[in-house]
């Protein structure tokens, strides 16, 4: 079973729709991994996204599960070293001990670069992290964790993965009663991200 943010190798040009832009074809031809999206796909397929060279280049597609020959999950990337000196990677080094006792992983551009070796980070990149939280995280604990993340040398975007979807730590630590829970069926405003959406 694959989850949002997993990186998959094995997609080919034949899996792309006919109207896929040239940059998408270039990425697939180069053997780049695709990232699992939160969306419903037909049986035997997984919803994925193709990354381009710039942030605006993101392409939604479907990939046959049978084509996957390698999978890297965010948790696999926690201790992957990098020789590059960038704020996002320095932030990762700083936060590893903070998150050491948790079930966490690296996603976004940092995850893509650490998994593939393809340079995706730049000096202004955020660090995207996920934290698996099968049990309810108290909002006071969320605020305490956010305060630590905010000492990092770049912006850190941490998503709490609940059994029912994902919610931004920054939002859960904030003052709003309702928060945005991202699920396979779309985004929902909820009071408690650890409860199934009605």
pTM of the model: 0.94
Look at the block and give the residue holding tokens 């899996």.
Answer: 15
Residue 198 pLDDT > 80: no
Angle at 33 between CA 30 and CA 36, to 5 degrees: 150
- How far is it, in rounded angstroms, from Cα 181 to Cα 36? 17
pLDDT one-digit tens code per residue, 112-130: 999 999 999 999 999 999 9
Q: What are the residues facing 166 on neighbouring strands?
A: 161, 182
**φ, ψ of residue 64 in degrees (nearest 5):** -65, 135
Residue 51: what pLDDT? 94
In contact, 172 and 160? CB cutoff 8 Å:
yes
Active site residues: 126, 128
Q: Report the SS3 class of residue 142.
A: helix
Total number of domains in the chain = 2
**Residue 1: inside a domain, yes or no?**
no
Task: For residue 64, give the CATH number of its domain.
Answer: 2.30.30
- Which residue segment(s) compose the domain that 54 sits in? 7-72
pLDDT one-digit tens code per residue, 137-192: 999 999 999 999 999 999 999 999 999 999 999 999 999 999 999 998 899 999 99
Q: Are 164 and 91 within one domain?
A: yes
Residue 44: what pLDDT? 96
- How far is it, in rounded angstroms, from Cα 198 to Cα 36? 25
Residue 190: what pLDDT? 97
């Amino acid at each position: 079973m694959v989850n949002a943010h997993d990186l998959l190798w094995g997609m080919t040009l034949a899996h792309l729709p006919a109207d896929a832009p040239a940059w998408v074809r270039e990425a697939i031809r180069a053997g780049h991994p695709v990232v699992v999206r939160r969306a419903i796909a037909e049986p035997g397929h997984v919803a994925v996204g193709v990354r381009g060279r710039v942030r605006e280049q993101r392409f939604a597609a479907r990939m046959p599960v049978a084509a996957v020959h390698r999978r890297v999950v965010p948790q696999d990337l926690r201790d992957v070293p990098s020789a590059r000196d960038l704020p996002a990677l320095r932030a990762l080094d700083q936060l590893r001990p903070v998150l050491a006792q948790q079930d966490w992983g690296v996603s976004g551009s940092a995850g893509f670069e650490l998994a593939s070796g393809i340079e995706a980070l730049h000096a202004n990149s955020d660090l995207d992290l996920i934290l698996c939280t099968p049990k309810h995280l108290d909002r006071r604990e969320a605020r305490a964790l956010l305060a630590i993340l905010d000492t990092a040398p770049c912006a850190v975007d941490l998503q709490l993965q609940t059994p029912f979807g994902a919610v931004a730590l920054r939002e859960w630590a904030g003052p709003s009663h309702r928060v945005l829970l991202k699920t396979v069926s779309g985004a929902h405003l909820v009071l408690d991200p650890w409860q199934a959406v009605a």
